[in-house]
A and B are shown apart, each in its own frame.
Chain A
Amino acid sequence: MNAILEVKNLTTVFGPRAAPIKAVSNVSFEVSPGRVLGLVGESGSGKSVTARSVMRLLSARGRVTEGSVMFEGQDILELSEKDMLNKRGKDIAMVFQDPQSTLNPVVRVGTQIMEALEVHGVSKAEARERAKELLDQVGIPEPETALDRYPHQFSGGMRQRVVIAIALAHKPKLLIADEPTTALDVTIQAQILQLLADLRHQLGIAVIMITHDMGVVAELCDDLVVMYAGRVVERGTVEEVFRAPRHAYTAALFSAMPSVDGNEDILRAIPGNPPVATNLPSGCAFRDRCSFADDRCKNVIPELFQLSDTHSAACARADEHERDLSPPIPAQVASNSNEASGKEDTPILEVRNLHTDVNASAKGLFRKHNPIYAVDDISFKVFPGQTLGLVGESGCGKSTLSRTIVGINQVTSGSIIVDGRDVTAMSDEDRKHIAKTLQYVFQDPSGSLNPRRTIGQSLQEALEIVGLHGDAALRRSHELADQVGLSRTHLARFPYELSGGQKQRVGIARALSVNPKVLICDEPVSALDVSIQAQIINLLAQLRDELNLGFLFIAHDLSVVRHISDQLAVMYLGRFVETGAAHQIYNAPNHPYTKSLLSAIPTADIDVDPTQRIVLTGDMPSLANPPSGCRFRTRCPMGPVYANGRQSCVDLDPKLIDAGDARLSACHHWKDVTKAMTTEALK
């Protein structure tokens, strides 16, 4: 193979010379033109540091102590800074995670692309021509006018396209993409992945794709390097690794991933937390969390064991070919609540025809008020011991909905009934009732804990509300810590001393401290690593069953919700487009949007053909100016844009209509969804 980049024995350390901390140890891999290498690992595994070492963009405290990075036969680490400047952006380009912060908000998009060209000596007029070409190449419509727009005039997906255009400006030979789709919605992620795949074929460039998502790897990558605690634990072609992972960590990662077609109620979580670079266990760094660890793993750091020309794994058991290395299926924690308690008739939380105007504060004496309904005629019920999964892309109004229920946003019309009491008016009494009945688990576990206060203090604050002080509060906080799987010593610590998963456990403990009957979980796992996601989902499911809680579980990703939901609601532009029993919706969606969402999720299965995927075009329209008729019609693969004779979608606003089996669908043509939404039919 003609590798364009060969990384050999790369070791990068941080901190003082006397006590360096190894962030990356002994990492080797190579990338060839036209191939995509997936660099997979959880946060802190050293994948981004590896990429930055290759780009020589380490922060001041980091340095490469060993190894070589050969780019086209030349060691990049030996180059002078001036020569390196020439390579960066020209031969090697990088795409970062968050397009929002990569682009300068006050500079026109065209100028930013042209700047990338001009630094490497392209004249202004040529640069403008080339910039237009690039925008066209990355699929931005009307490149001429797009050049003169500012980043905020583009959606997140479009911005990421611009970032990719900048990276491609000089036809680089190597493109390093650091989690380029993590900040995007699933349907937009599907678009960007498709774009990257197309570009790779058209331009024949080598790509390093840094990601935590095995689904992305399956979809886009040819080769795969799995990192754990700064080391490569497994390496091979995607085919080899996906068919037979030979490192226990890789195998565990596969089974911990929530998936849309998984049938298990309990996810096979990887226990424990990822190790921190400052405090690695002796021997194999994964041994604490591995279900197969034995004495061998304790003493020796396993070397990469060559399994085939391309496949190798750094596990003491790598040669035990027959063995299934996935962790054992956990024992069923509690019997499924649905059968145990039977269906209860009184909902614990009920929302009727709720409207929330997010533009209400813009009312003025001389301004005409334009209501913007982020929540538009929403009704649902949550029963004790059951989960209502609420799915939708960012901007669909799901967070506004949950915030309206707890009284942060004002109700415009409709009613909210919490445990038999109508709290729509949100009087002080109502708020007290809500606080005791209904609690909130936040998305960002770091943001929802005050960094200045210890975990104990944060819990204490919640316990005061239910009148627990002093020793009683201390005892209860111990109970809560036990309940969510935290150690009691965590109570004296500050949030920054805890890992993301532990912080989320604190968030859950705090929500439980008032003995609520309903939990609103607002994307509780989307900020967490895959192995931790499974732990938290399992914990939530277990608590729901033990405490007979009703859940409103919000997510942007259908695969996460699948494992915990009984009922499901799919939201688009402020409205529900489909509701019903979760397993039925997953099996046969009755709305084209649901179908597209399901299809957009990259699955960690190499047998799925990515070209069979339904990729929605365009972005979600603005709430301020929703399309007439069906709000989804501008993107609907079976709607008027693609199919003739769908005039009703433009003229008539579809209401949620009965689609049998207690399911509702807001599509005029719901009966056609299964038939019309196959890739063949769409072509």
Chain B
Amino acid sequence: MTTSVQKTSWRTNPTLIRYALAFQSSKGMAALALVFAITSVALLAPVLFPQGYDFQTRNALVGPSWQHPFGTDEIGRDLMVRAIYGLRTDLGLIFTAVPLSMAIGTILGLLGIISRRLGDWVQRGLDVIAGFPGLILGICIVIVVGTGWLALFIAITIAGLPSFGRLARATLLTQMNREYVIAAMTLGVSKWKIMIRHILPQAAETIIAQGAVFVVAAVFIEAALSIVGLGLQPPEPSLGTLLNIGMLYVTLTPMYVIGPTVILIILALAFSLLADALNEAVNQR
């Protein structure tokens, strides 16, 4: 019967379907393949390179070769292995801190639906965070939780809040003036439902796109804190620490810097493509 057909179309969520459709485009597939490849290489690192990131060879600071595609570092460790283990650390941060920052930022930005004044105050709070130099913020966090992964995690989460919060608020303000939101209000739909149905999907779009951009920023925050010794402690590698130490030897072995940079670029590309594909699918007209 026709009703059964219509019933399925009634129950399934077209918004989610549209997000899913993003991966049918070539861009979406490429993005997904890249993210998948990067993630699996990172996850499989202990299997692929069982000696671990700390394994030393006799040759320090040699250029690229078949054996060591990125060359070796100042104490003879394979740089590609270190970069891939570093990627592991960074992906770990990206997949936890960035979504958390997006979620908290969105919630803070959308708090303005309760009252305009509350929204304004929240923004002023976010302004304060944005006004703090990242390093000082990092130091404050380290004072509270000590150095290491947790400090990085918290620092990245907090650093993202102002941009996500502001985007969410901007969407909220424009959407509240949209006629379909006013239409929902005159129907007597609750604020909470208006938020979930009309405002959040709209906000999600810009925030997801911004999230992909922030992934790259997150790696640099990690690097900045690591160099002053507030992030990960050596010998644990991360893309940021590699880049920072690499700067010292850039004249001797340029690959020290180029290697991690290439990985960083692939990482950024993968997430930008992903954001783009999602955006196109959701915004198609």
Binding site for B on A (CB under 8 A): 406-408, 431-432, 434-436, 439-440, 442, 444, 447-454, 456-458, 460-462, 464-465, 471, 474, 488, 491-492, 494, 496, 507, 510, 514
Contact of A431 with B188 at beta-carbon distance under 8 Å, contacts A452-B202, A456-B9, A496-B285 already known? yes
- Chain A minimum-CB-distance residue to B284: A496
Report 18 cross-chain contacts, Cβ distance below 8 Å, ordered by A residue.
A408-B186, A431-B188, A434-B188, A440-B186, A442-B183, A447-B179, A451-B285, A456-B9, A458-B180, A460-B10, A461-B189, A464-B189, A491-B10, A492-B9, A492-B10, A496-B285, A510-B187, A514-B188
Contacts of A491 in B (CB 8 A): 6, 10
B residues in contact (CB < 8 Å) with A: 3, 6-7, 9-10, 14-15, 18, 178-180, 182-189, 193, 197-198, 201-202, 282, 285
Pick the contact of A514: B7, B185, B187, B202 (CB < 8 A): B187
Contact A448 B179 (CB under 8 A): yes
Given the complex, which residues of A lie within 8 Å of B6, measured CB to CB?
A: 474, 488, 491-492
- A465–B188 alpha-carbon span in the complex (Å): 7
Please indicate the chain B residues that have their CB under 8 angstroms from the CB of A452 in the complex. 14-15, 18, 201-202, 282
Q: Which 9 residue pairs across A and B have the least CB separation, nearest first?
A: A435-B188, A447-B179, A448-B179, A450-B180, A492-B9, A440-B186, A406-B186, A448-B183, A462-B187
> Closest residue to B3 on the A side, CB-wise?
A474
- Residue of chain A at shortest CB distance from B183: A448
Q: In the complex, how many angstroms separate the beta carbon of A362 from the nearest chain B beta carbon?
A: 13
Contact A457 B187 (CB under 8 A): no
Contact A444 B179 (CB under 8 A): yes
Determine which of A407, A439, A447, A471 lies in contact with B178 in the assembled complex, contact meaning CB atoms within 8 Å.
A447
Contact A439 B14 (CB under 8 A): no
| Chain A residues closer than 8 Å to B9, beta-carbon distance | 454, 456, 492
Knowing A447-B179, A450-B180 are in contact, say whether A435-B14 is a contact too (CB < 8 A).
no
Nearest chain-B residue to A473 (Cβ)? B10
Contact partner, A453, options B185, B188, B189, B197, Cβ 8 Å: B197
- A457 near B179: Cβ-Cβ < 8 Å: no
Q: Main SS of chain B's interface residues?
A: helix
In Å, the complex CA distance between A497 and B100 comes to 36
**Alpha-carbon separation in the docked complex, A150 to B189 (Å):** 42
Interchain CB contact under 8 A, A494 and B14: yes
In whole angstroms, what is the CA distance A448 to B285 when docked? 16
What is the chain A residue whose CB lies nearest that of B182? A408
CB B94 to nearest CB in A, in angstroms, measures 28
Chain B residues within an 8 Å CB radius of A488? 6
**Quick one: closest B residue to A445, CB to CB?**
B179
List the A residue with the shortest CB-CB distance to B282: A452
A448-B179, A448-B180, A452-B202 known; A465-B189 Cβ under 8 A: yes
Chain A residues near B15: list those with CB within 8 A: 452-453
Measured between beta carbons, the chain A residues less than 8 angstroms from B179 are: 442, 444, 447-448
Known: A456-B9, A474-B10, A492-B9. A450 touches B186 (CB 8 A): no
A487 to chain B, nearest CB (A): 12
How distant is the Cα of A444 from the Cα of B182 in the complex, in angstroms?
12
Contact, CB under 8 Å: B182 / A439: no
- Docked complex Cα distance between A63 and B115 (Å): 52
Q: How distant is B9 from chain A, measured CB to nearest CB, in Å?
A: 5
Minimum CB–CB distance from B12 to chain A (whole Å) comes to: 10
CB <8 Å contact, B183 and A456 = no
In the complex, what distance in Å separates the CA atom of A491 from the CA atom of B9?
9
Instruction: Name the residue of chain B whose CB is nearest to the CB of A463.
Output: B187
A458 and B184 alpha carbons, distance in the complex (Å): 9
Distance from B2 Cβ to chain A, minimum over Cβ atoms (Å): 8
Give B9's nearest chain A residue, CB to CB: A492
Say whether A461 contacts B184, CB under 8 Å: yes
Q: Within the assembled complex, what's the spacing in Å between the Cα atoms of A447 and B178?
A: 7
Task: Give the chain A neighbours of B10 by CB distance below 8 A.
Answer: 456, 460, 474, 491-492
Report whether A440 and B14 are in contact in the complex, using a CB–CB cutoff of 8 Å: no
Q: Is the CB of A474 within 8 A of B7?
A: yes
Given A447-B179, A488-B6, A496-B285: A453 in contact with B14 (beta carbons within 8 A) = yes
> Are A461's CB and B197's CB within 8 A?
yes
The reply to whether B178 and A435 contact each other, CB–CB distance below 8 Å, is no
Q: Which of A408, A494, A507 contacts B185 (CB 8 A)?
A: A408
Kindly list chain B residues whose C-beta atoms are within 8 Å of the C-beta of A442. Answer: 179, 182-183
Write the nearest CB–CB distance from A448 to chain B, whole angstroms.
Answer: 4
Measured CB to CB, the nearest residue on chain B to A489 is B6
* Residue ID in chain A nearest B18 by CB atoms: A452
Q: How many angstroms from the CA of A488 to the CA of B182 in the assembled complex?
A: 26
List the B side residues contacting A496 at CB < 8 Å: 285
CA distance A583 to B182 in the complex (A): 34
CA distance in complex: A442, B7 (Å): 29
Output the nearest chain B residue to A460 by Cβ-Cβ distance: B10
Are A465 and B180 within 8 A (Cβ)? Answer: no
List chain B residues, Cβ under 8 A from A436. Answer: 188
B206 → chain A closest CB, angstroms: 14
From residue A195, how far is it (CB to closest CB) to chain B in Å? 33
A431 vs B14: C-alpha distance when bound (angstroms) = 30
Return B49 CB to nearest CB of chain A, in Å: 45
Cα A451 to Cα B180 in complex, Å, equals 9
Q: Which of A439, A447, A471, A474 contacts B187 (CB 8 A)?
A: A439
Known contacts: A465-B188, A465-B189, A496-B285. The answer to whether A454 contacts B14 by CB under 8 A is: yes
CA A408 to CA B201, docked complex, whole Å? 23
Minimal Cβ-Cβ distance residue in B for A488: B6
Residues in A with CB closer than 8 Å to B182 are 408, 442, 448
Other CB < 8 Å A-B pairs besides A408-B186, A491-B6, 14 of them?
A434-B188, A435-B186, A439-B187, A440-B186, A447-B178, A452-B282, A454-B9, A461-B184, A461-B193, A464-B189, A492-B6, A492-B10, A496-B285, A514-B187
Contact B183 A510, beta carbon cutoff 8 Å? yes
Cα distance, A448 to B181, chains bound together (Å): 8
| Residues in chain A near residue B202, CB distance under 8 A | 452
Chain A's closest residue to B175 (CB) is A450
Which B residues are in CB contact (< 8 Å) with A407? 186
Closest to B198 in A: A450
Which of A439, A451, A458, A492 is in CB contact (< 8 Å) with B186?
A439
State the Cβ distance, A319 to closest chain B Cβ, in Å: 44
List A contacts of B285 (CB < 8 A). Answer: 451, 496
* Complex Cα gap A442–B187 (Å): 12
Within 8 Å CB of A471, what residues of B? 7
CA distance in complex: A448, B182 (Å): 8
User: In the bound complex, how far is the Cα of B183 from the Cα of A448, in angstroms?
Assistant: 6
Nearest B residue to A496, CB-CB:
B285
A494 vs B183: C-alpha distance in the bound complex, in angstroms? 17
Which residues of B are found within 8 Å of A439, using beta-carbon distances? 186-187
* Chain A positions within 8 Å of B183 at CB level: 440, 442, 448-449, 507, 510
A431 to chain B, nearest CB (A): 6
Question: Taking the nearest CB of chain B, how far is it from the CB of A518, in angstroms?
Answer: 12
Contacts of B18 in A (CB 8 A): 452
A447 CA / B179 CA spacing, docked (Å)? 5
- Once the chains bind, are B187 and A461 in contact (CB under 8 Å)? yes
The answer for the CA separation of A434 and B185 in the assembled complex, in Å, is 11
In the complex, what residue of chain A is closest to B194 when comparing beta carbons? A461
A408 to B285, CA, bound (A): 30
Nearest-neighbour CB distance to chain A for B197, whole angstroms, equals 7
Residues of B near A454 (CB, < 8 A) are: 9, 14
Contact of A457 among B7, B14, B186 (CB under 8 A): B14
Which residue among B9, B14, B188, B201 has the maximum number of chain A CB atoms within 10 Å of its CB? B188
Smallest beta-carbon distance A20→chain B, Å: 21
